[in-house]
A and B are shown apart, each in its own frame.
Chain A
Amino acid sequence: MNSSDVVISVPELALGVLLVIALAAVCRPLSRQTASGLVTSMGRMCLQLTLLGLVLKAVFDNVSLVWVALVSLVMLLAAGREVVIRQRYRGPWASDWRTGLTAMTSGCFLLTLLALLVVIEHEPWYHPRYAIPLLGMMLGNTMTGIALTISRILEGAHQQAPRIQARLALGDTWQDAVRGVRIDGIRQGLLPVINMMAASGLVSLPGMMTGQLLAGADPMDAVSYQILIILMIATGAGTGSLIAAHLTVRQLFDDRERLRLDYYRDVDSDGSR
């Protein structure tokens, strides 16, 4: 791959920045908040990506398993935080984090390892040029699936508490009582992946493939990489959602199979007080 075909200079980047500032200026009379949101989030994006570039450059220059592991850990924790703060209903923080991290680790790490060791087979297998972007794409998608699954289950359990209680009162097991809520959560978590697979290549050009094409890669090479990535993302998001659903519904009940919504607090109603 000849990545030096397209090099973007600072004035070219500045042109892009000006375009967003112009957009913000147009939006300002309509909504000041939106305009300032555009500018500040653009600033954050530029800063974060620049920092990431510096970190990646350092890691690429010193290929070492320790550095790759460290960057992976930071990425995992950031994704875990994203899953937790997206929830309207929060349980005890330790169990929230445990659910998010367990689901993501099993959904992402094992599959990324599998792809690196069995499919890509680069030497060394942990080379950051492959390991970090792969893990990043896996985490990004799996994180969304897991966050959707957990929030759907917790919101469903709160909305449908009388139904769950009625089934428990009749002597149903907790698994039966919560079945509908659980299925709904898994369906919700997998929907983005199903849509993504169905729309790939027709409606959207996937991000990784676009990047490779822009950088001058052969289209068929880019496609085969992309298919592999999408298959892994689908498996990772699916596994992550299933595990997140299992752990989340288990936490809704205590050891006497009672529904324990009192373990959770509603962040939305906290904010409005």
Chain B
Amino acid sequence: MNDPPMTLLDIRSLDHPVIHAANLQVDAGERICLAAPSGAGKSVFLQCLADLLEHTGEVFFDGQPRTQFSGHAWRQQVCYVASESAWWSGRVIDHFPAQVTLPLSALQLDNELLERSPSGLSSGQRQRLSLLRALARHPRVLMLDEPTANLDERNTDAVETLLQEWTGEGNALIFTSHNVQQQMRLATRRWSIRDGRVEAQE
């Protein structure tokens, strides 16, 4: 395969009162780490990319401008997962699309968890299930805010392996992490934030 990789996300400009970006691309198969100190605006930037916060700018998905998508259609492709997961139904299974096969064992989760109430699970179980919940909807770009903050080493490895396989299928990942080792292991490229501006690092 010598074709140039497909650009999934093309951020020509993005302006929000606390964060700005211009000329950033995300290609299929990439895993980009957005590295910056706390309070620099990482979550705000990711939520702007998911069009969850009001902002201005021009962002394209798969060559199509965002204005051609409705809000929910855009977020089905460019999906944001917050560091704290929220649940709206009494059973875990109700949060997943019907008839979906979930790679539960890859994340060391038991099938019986699906019948339980989300409030009865540990924070680590909820965090892994919220990742599966997003993957089950087949987005092409996934933005994860501290995806392994509540996980031990073994579960962190499992999540990283799953994400590597998933991006290998032609999808793209943008994530934040305070764990420098994780940034080195998982990221194929890094973005940083300087003076409220997101910049790609060579």
Contacts of B52 in A (CB 8 A): 165, 168-169, 258-259
CA distance A258 to B52 in the complex (A): 5
* Contacts of A149-173 to chain B: CB distance below 8 A: 160, 162-163, 165-173
| B102 CB-CB contact with A under 8 Å | no
| B53 CB-CB contact with A under 8 Å | yes
Q: Nearest-CB distance from B176 to chain A (Å)? A: 15
* Contacts of A195-235 to chain B: CB distance below 8 A: none
Contacts of A163 in B (CB 8 A): 86-88
Count of chain A to chain B residue pairs whose CB atoms are closer than 8 Å in the complex: 60
CA distance A180 to B88 in the complex (A): 8
Contacts of B84 in A (CB 8 A): 162
| B85 CB-CB contact with A under 8 Å | yes
| B80 CB-CB contact with A under 8 Å | yes
Q: Nearest-CB distance from B67 to chain A (Å)? A: 10
Is B72 within 8 A of A172, CB to CB? yes
Is A170 within 8 A of B70, CB to CB? no
* Contacts of B91-135 to chain A: CB distance below 8 A: 133-134
Is A258 within 8 A of B86, CB to CB? no
Secondary structure class of chain B's binding surface, majority of residues: loop
Is B79 within 8 A of A171, CB to CB? yes
| B82 CB-CB contact with A under 8 Å | yes
CA distance A174 to B71 in the complex (A): 9
* Contacts of B10-65 to chain A: CB distance below 8 A: 50-54
| B170 CB-CB contact with A under 8 Å | no
Is A171 within 8 A of B82, CB to CB? no
Is B71 within 8 A of A256, CB to CB? yes
CA distance A75 to B86 in the complex (A): 44
| B137 CB-CB contact with A under 8 Å | yes
Give the one of B71, B80, B134 with max A CB within 10 A. Answer: B71
| A121 CB-CB contact with B under 8 Å | no
Contacts of A255 in B (CB 8 A): 71
| B197 CB-CB contact with A under 8 Å | no
Instruction: For A162, give the chain B residue with the smallest CB separation.
Output: B86
Give the one of A168, A171, A256 with max B CB within 10 A. Answer: A171
Q: Nearest-CB distance from A236 to chain B (Å)? A: 32
Q: Nearest-CB distance from B98 to chain A (Å)? A: 14
Contacts of A173 in B (CB 8 A): 72
Is A166 within 8 A of B75, CB to CB? no
Among B51, B70, B86, the residue within 8 A (CB) of A165 is B86
Is B134 within 8 A of A170, CB to CB? yes
CA distance A166 to B79 in the complex (A): 10
Q: Nearest-CB distance from B103 to chain A (Å)? A: 18
Is B87 within 8 A of A170, CB to CB? no
Known A256-B51, A258-B54; contact A169-B72, beta-carbon cutoff 8 A: no
Among A180, A254, A257, the residue within 8 A (CB) of B70 is A257
Is A168 within 8 A of B72, CB to CB? yes
CA distance A166 to B73 in the complex (A): 15
Q: Nearest-CB distance from A141 to chain B (Å)? A: 32
CA distance A189 to B90 in the complex (A): 24
| B81 CB-CB contact with A under 8 Å | yes
Among B51, B70, B88, the residue within 8 A (CB) of A167 is B88
| B139 CB-CB contact with A under 8 Å | yes
Is B75 within 8 A of A169, CB to CB? yes
Contacts of B51 in A (CB 8 A): 256, 258
Is B71 within 8 A of A169, CB to CB? no
Q: Nearest-CB distance from B102 to chain A (Å)? A: 15
Contacts of A256 in B (CB 8 A): 51, 54, 71
Q: Nearest-CB distance from B84 to chain A (Å)? A: 7
Q: Nearest-CB distance from A165 to chain B (Å)? A: 7
26 residue pairs of the A-B complex, CB under 8 angstroms, read A160-B88, A162-B84, A162-B86, A163-B86, A163-B88, A165-B82, A165-B86, A166-B85, A166-B86, A166-B88, A168-B75, A169-B81, A170-B133, A171-B75, A171-B77, A171-B79, A173-B72, A174-B72, A256-B54, A256-B71, A257-B71, A258-B52, A258-B53, A258-B71, A259-B52, A260-B54
Question: B residues touching A (Cβ–Cβ < 8 Å)?
Answer: 50-54, 70-73, 75-77, 79-82, 84-88, 133-134, 137, 139
Sort A-B residue pairs by CB-CB distance and give the 5 closest, nearest first.
Answer: A257-B71, A171-B76, A166-B86, A162-B86, A256-B71
Question: A residues touching B (Cβ–Cβ < 8 Å)?
Answer: 160, 162-163, 165-174, 180, 254-260
